[in-house]
Copies of this chain bind each other. A is one copy, B any other.
Amino acid sequence: MSCEARLAEKLSELKLELPPPAEPKGVYKPLAMAGKLVYTSGHLPVRPDGTLVTGRVGAELDVQAGYRAAQLVGLGILSTLRKRFESLDNVVRLVKLFGAVNCTPDFIQQPAVINGCSELFAHVFGPENGVAARSAIGTSALPLGVPVEIEAIFEVG
- A residues with a Cβ closer than 8 A to B are 24-37, 39-42, 94-98, 100-112, 114-115, 118-119, 122, 131-145, 149, 151, 153, 155
Contact = CB atoms under 8 A, between A and B. Distances in A.
Copies in the complex: 3
B140 A105 contact: yes
Residue among A94, A103, A110, A119 with the highest chain B CB neighbour number at 10 A: A110
A145 B40 contact: no
A133 B25 contact: no
A95 B142 contact: no
A148 to B, nearest CB: 10
Residue among A35, A138, A155 with the highest chain B CB neighbour number at 10 A: A138
Q: List 5 tightest A-B contacts by C-beta distance, closest first.
A: A138-B141, A42-B135, A28-B134, A26-B111, A27-B118
Given A41-B134, A137-B149, 15 more contacts: A26-B134, A27-B119, A28-B97, A29-B133, A30-B133, A32-B132, A33-B95, A39-B133, A41-B135, A42-B136, A105-B140, A109-B143, A137-B143, A138-B141, A140-B140
